[in-house]
Amino acid sequence: MLEASTPVQYVKGIGPRLAEILAAKGIATVDDLLHYLPFRYEDRLNPRSVAELRAGEMATVIAEVRNSGLFRTRRMPIFQLTVGQGRNKLKCLWFNAAYLEDRFKAGQMLALYGKVEEDRDGQLQIMQPQVEILGDINEEGGADEAEKKAAASLEIGRIVPIYESAGQGKLTPRWFRRIIRRTLENLNPDLPDPIPAAVRAHLSLVPVREALWKAHWPEAGESFTDLQSSRTPAHIRMIFDELFFIELGLELKRREQKAQTGIAFQLNDAVRQAIKKILPFHPTTAQKRVLKEIATDMQTPSPMRRLLQGDVGSGKTIVAFQAAIIAIENGYQVALMAPTEILAQQHYFSARQILERAGYRIVLLTGSLEQDRKRDVRRHIAQGNAQLIIGTHALIQDKVEFENLGLVVVDEQHRFGVMQRLKLMRKEGAATARNHVGTYALVRPSERPSPMPEPDVLVMTATPIPRTLALTLYGDLDLSVLDELPPGRTPVVTRALPDERAPEVWDFVRRQIAAGHQAYVVYPVIEENEERELKAAEQMHRQLREKIFPSLHVGLLHGRLDAGEKERVMREFQQGKIEILVATTVIEVGVDVSNATVMVIEHADRFGLAQLHQLRGRIGRGAAKSYCVLMRGGKVSEEGERRLDAMVRTNDGFQIAELDLELRGPGEFFGTKQAGIPSFRVANIIRDRQLLEAAKREAALVISGPNAEISKEEVDRALREMRSRWALTYGLVEVG
């Protein structure tokens, strides 16, 4: 008897060697195997007789072997088999198939499936058909046997599931059909349904067993369109199932966070005055609304867990600074974490410009500080001398002890996947333990000093995820959206130009600089080939400096420079001493020099939309009109063209995100590759948006239970299932 949690190795026919191949596909348990759904189905109902076959159709045929043989062409051995019924004959060919030579005997009954064609002589043939030997009619009882076998066949006379093969073709679709079928047959029949009956009733979901069976082995009457688009009742149940347990985890997490003791910050007139005083400009309506949402959270005693979403340039930084003031004025420390050192430095500059006037003590903590200095900074933080601590995530997270941390701001969260974020949050729990952001796991509850309040957390991102998706994917966070750009901006004018027109582009850059502006020339670094790209940037830098703009100041910025050098280059660009900055994508996030009005991106066609949009967000930050030139050389892929088109057409981050999502699919879009979101087994969060929302709603209902509809037993079972899935799939056992 197989349980959902049984390792696949123990399924008959698998064993340790094949289990390894399956593991590479993410299939470890019986449950995983059963969620390995066919990627398409073939209609092999109604076997035809040879006489009925027509060229051009996909067909299943049952016929008798007449003769077979291997003949060798110069290029490869070809196996030919002729089958027939009465006078009608059908030829079958397999390339490179010497192994078939001794497989068939005249008189055997075969089931064949494939595309019927006509050869040069007008004779019907099928190339590379699926084949199954049903029996030998020359043997005693052979005909009956063959008939029975045909009826029970997994290959013909039914809708057949087609699975992706695994292990370089070692595990074929056919192999999967057999194994999954056997697994279904041996599955514990008392498998309880982990989704409460009431929830199933709300959405008319079929029970789990039925869903599993029918998703793999649809019944003859099933609509083929529904099957191909994963819209059968069985599919819907399985998709909902997957989303429901993710949402259940997020919802539970959210409630637990809310139940913790946080800090109820005071927002009195003095604090309000302090906030007002620092503002270098009038906040936008959106900024005011968002600040209010944040301030309200901060005043309540439960810890804030808020996601601030706003397109590049929408002015998230100042909102974060305002929140920081609330915390600092209340006597707490604030940590501001950035994904890159350059961005941390950038924030440090602006923080000093904007906040130091108010007398706040601000420190920068980066990996490149000298040991002594680092120790000093840490001491200041531990003793509470430093009020605003700015640094990279790695630094602040791991080793820093705070005197009394009240607010954590995580900037540009889109650089970090959801899973990393969950881990991050968990670590922040450390603050409860020892005012320490990195040791939660190390401190057992009994060793914790008297409970310290949880700091508030504000996470900021420029990834403009459609709102419904954000609500569900980031289900454990409250959401604020900055949906308005600061006034006086003219949208960036974007052009895509072929490399040949570079001279005109450089002329244009020259004129912009003569008019007092600055420019970026970007060489996006391609991950696999960083070395070479770096060289390209360095070469380009030399060429621009020596040949093209000999009378201008051309700086170079890339991730491999040491920190002092980075800082110097950024400062000089900010001060206008450097007029043209040649850079890799290190400038993608956060860099803010509003006098820069031109960005030339080389090889723009090779880069992702989100990245291009982020890069372009570096210009158009002041009142002057800005220009983005996307250079492309050589042959551009069709997708590359579509990306460039989209960039030229719109400046709207949400539109770009939608298109990006469409072009890349959700996995890539959300960076599953970098351990981003849970990679869904059957759901597709774009296609299944509605189910996602239903799952969120129902999850909240179950967590509030038990009630008249949902028994305690059902709630417990659902929670148990959720925990085991989160532990297995996402490696996060700590939920709940």
Residue 283 binds ligand ADP (CB under 6 A): yes
Residue 675 beta carbon to ligand ADP: minimum distance, rounded to whole angstroms? 24
Residue 509: CA atoms inside 13 Å, Cβ hemisphere, count? 27
Residue position matching structure tokens 């974020």: 421
What is the DSSP code string of 35-75? T---SEEEE--SPBPGGG--TT-EEEEEEEEEEEEEEE-SS
Q: Scan residues 434-493 and list those touching ligand ADP (CB under 6 A).
A: 462, 486
Q: Scan residues 206-235 and list those touching ligand ADP (CB under 6 A).
A: none
Nearer of residues 609 and 700 to ligand ADP, judged by Cβ:
609
Q: Which range binds Mg ion by CB under 5 A, 332-340, 510-518, 558-566, 589-597? A: 589-597
Binding pattern to ligand ADP, positions 15-34, x when CB under 6 A? --------------------
Residue 334 beta carbon to ligand ADP: minimum distance, rounded to whole angstroms? 16
Nearer of residues 99 and 281 to ligand ADP, judged by Cβ:
281
Residue 651 beta carbon to ligand ADP: minimum distance, rounded to whole angstroms? 13
Residue position matching structure tokens 């729990």: 429
Instruction: List the one residue out of 19, 17, 34 whose CA is nearest residue 185.
Output: 34
Cα 355 to Cα 321: distance, rounded to the nearest angstrom: 8
Nearer of residues 129 and 617 to Mg ion, judged by Cβ:
617
Handedness of CA 39, 43, 47, 52 (dihedral sign): negative
Residues that bind ligand ADP (rule: CB under 6 A) add up to a total of 18
Burial class (CB within 10 angstroms; exposed 0-12, middle 13-18, buried 19+) of 670: buried
Instruction: List the one residue out of 29, 32, 11, 9 whose CA is nearest residue 20.
Output: 9
Would you call 697 helix, strand, or coil by DSSP?
A: helix
Would you call 229 helix, strand, or coil by DSSP?
A: coil
Cα 668 to Cα 685: distance, rounded to the nearest angstrom: 12
Residue 294 beta carbon to ligand ADP: minimum distance, rounded to whole angstroms? 14
Nearer of residues 126 and 619 to ligand ADP, judged by Cβ:
619
Residue 318 binds ligand ADP (CB under 6 A): yes
Binds ligand ADP by CB under 6 A, chosen from 196, 313, 391, 705: 313
Q: Scan residues 144-163 and list those touching ligand ADP (CB under 6 A).
A: none
Cα 40 to Cα 35: distance, rounded to the nearest angstrom: 14
Residue 281 interface partner, choices ligand ADP, Mg ion, none, CB cut-off 5-8 Å depending on type: ligand ADP
Residue 255 beta carbon to Mg ion: minimum distance, rounded to whole angstroms? 30
Nearer of residues 236 and 581 to ligand ADP, judged by Cβ:
581
Contact 666/684 with Cβ under 8 angstroms?
Answer: yes
Cα 653 to Cα 310: distance, rounded to the nearest angstrom: 9
Residue 353 beta carbon to ligand ADP: minimum distance, rounded to whole angstroms? 10
The verdict on whether omega for the bond into residue 16 sits within 30 degrees of 0, i.e. cis, is: no
Sheet containing strand 456-461, edge to edge, reads 362-365, 388-392, 333-338, 405-410, 456-461, 305-310, 478-482
From the CA atom positions of the chain, what is the Rg in Å? Answer: 32
Q: What are phi and psi of 306, to 5 degrees?
A: -125, 140
Nearer of residues 153 and 413 to ligand ADP, judged by Cβ:
413
Q: What are phi and psi of 395, to 5 degrees?
A: -65, -50
Binds ligand ADP by CB under 6 A, chosen from 173, 310, 555, 705: 310
Binding pattern to ligand ADP, positions 551-590, x when CB under 6 A? ----------------------------------------
Residue 312 interface partner, choices Mg ion, ligand ADP, none, CB cut-off 5-8 Å depending on type: ligand ADP
Compute CA 574 distance to the chain's CA centroid, rounded to the nearest angstrom: 34
Nearer of residues 333 and 413 to Mg ion, judged by Cβ:
413
Binds Mg ion by CB under 5 A, chosen from 157, 161, 590, 678: 590
Give the residue ranges of DSSP H helices in 49-168: 142-152
Which 8-state DSSP code applies to residue 673? G
Residue 491 beta carbon to ligand ADP: minimum distance, rounded to whole angstroms? 14
Q: Scan residues 516-535 and list those touching ligand ADP (CB under 6 A).
A: none
Residue 284 binds ligand ADP (CB under 6 A): yes
Q: Which range binds Mg ion by CB under 5 A, 168-176, 262-270, 565-573, 590-598? A: 590-598
Cα 444 to Cα 441: distance, rounded to the nearest angstrom: 7
Q: Scan residues 691-710 and list those touching ligand ADP (CB under 6 A).
A: none
Q: Scan residues 228-247 and list those touching Mg ion (CB under 5 A).
A: none
Token pair, residue 632, equals 């492309």
Nearer of residues 194 and 313 to ligand ADP, judged by Cβ:
313
Q: Which range binds ligand ADP by CB under 6 A, 22-30, 32-40, 118-126, 281-289? A: 281-289
Would you call 558 helix, strand, or coil by DSSP?
A: coil
Cα 633 to Cα 501: distance, rounded to the nearest angstrom: 10
Q: Which residues contact 43 (CB under 8 A, 6 or more apart)?
A: 58, 159, 224
Cα 323 to Cα 447: distance, rounded to the nearest angstrom: 32
Residue 280 beta carbon to Mg ion: minimum distance, rounded to whole angstroms? 16
Contact 70/77 with Cβ under 8 angstroms?
Answer: yes
Residue 429 interface partner, choices Mg ion, ligand ADP, none, CB cut-off 5-8 Å depending on type: none
Nearer of residues 6 and 322 to ligand ADP, judged by Cβ:
322
Q: Which range binds ligand ADP by CB under 6 A, 197-205, 237-245, 308-316, 385-393? A: 308-316
Q: Scan residues 586-625 and list those touching ligand ADP (CB under 6 A).
A: 592, 594, 621
Nearer of residues 310 and 475 to ligand ADP, judged by Cβ:
310
* Nearest residue to ligand ADP, by Cβ distance, number only: 315
Pairing mode, strands 108-118 and 580-583: unpaired
Residue 165 beta carbon to ligand ADP: minimum distance, rounded to whole angstroms? 45
Residue 389 beta carbon to ligand ADP: minimum distance, rounded to whole angstroms? 19
Residue 232 interface partner, choices ligand ADP, Mg ion, none, CB cut-off 5-8 Å depending on type: none
Residue 410 beta carbon to Mg ion: minimum distance, rounded to whole angstroms? 12
Residue position matching structure tokens 């299943």: 60
Nearer of residues 135 and 283 to ligand ADP, judged by Cβ:
283
Nearer of residues 254 and 621 to Mg ion, judged by Cβ:
621
b/e burial code for range 472-502 (CB count within 10 A of at least 16 → b)? bbbbbbbebbbbbbbeebeebebebbeeeeb
Nearer of residues 354 and 377 to ligand ADP, judged by Cβ:
354
For residue 252, give the amino acid letter: L
Which parts of this chain interact with Mg ion (CB under 5 A)?
590
Which parts of this chain interact with ligand ADP (CB under 6 A)?
281-284, 287, 310, 312-318, 462, 486, 592, 594, 621
